[in-house]
Amino acid sequence: MIEALIGDTLQITWVSSGSTANPINYAVYNGSETLVDSASMTDSGNGHYYGLHTIPSSVGFYSVYTEATVSGKPYRRYTNYKAVKGEV
C-alpha cells in the first residue's frame, strides 16, 4: 500500500503496448466508497497515459480504479493508497 501526503500529487499511469487504448479514465473513492475524483487520462505518446490526482485533505484509505478500452474490450486496474499528514 502506498502512503501519500495530504495535498501531494499522485501520478496514475497506464501503459498500453500494441493496441491503442481509448478511452482511459480513473476514479478515486474514499473508504466510504464515495467518489472523490475522476478524470480522463492524458496520452503522452508511445502507449503511455497518465492522470494527476491531488491527495484529499482527509486522512484515510482511498482506492483508485483505472479503466481502459482496448480493441473494444474493457480492462481494469485497482490501486489503494493511504492519505497521511506530514510531520513538521
- Per-residue burial over 43-81, b = 16 or more CB atoms within 10 Å of its CB, e = otherwise: beeeeebebebebbeeeeebebbbbbebeeeeeeeebeb
Confidence of residue 13 (pLDDT cuts 50, 70, 90): very high
- Domain total for the chain? 1
User: What was the pLDDT predicted at 8?
Assistant: 95
User: What was the pLDDT predicted at 88?
Assistant: 46
Domain CATH code at residue 44: 2.60.40.10
**Residue range 22-66, pLDDT digits in tens:** 889 999 999 999 999 999 999 998 889 999 999 999 999 999 999
Give me the domain span that covers residue 67.
2-84
> What's this model's pTM, rounded to 2 decimal places?
0.88
**Residue 5 or residue 17, greater confidence:** 5
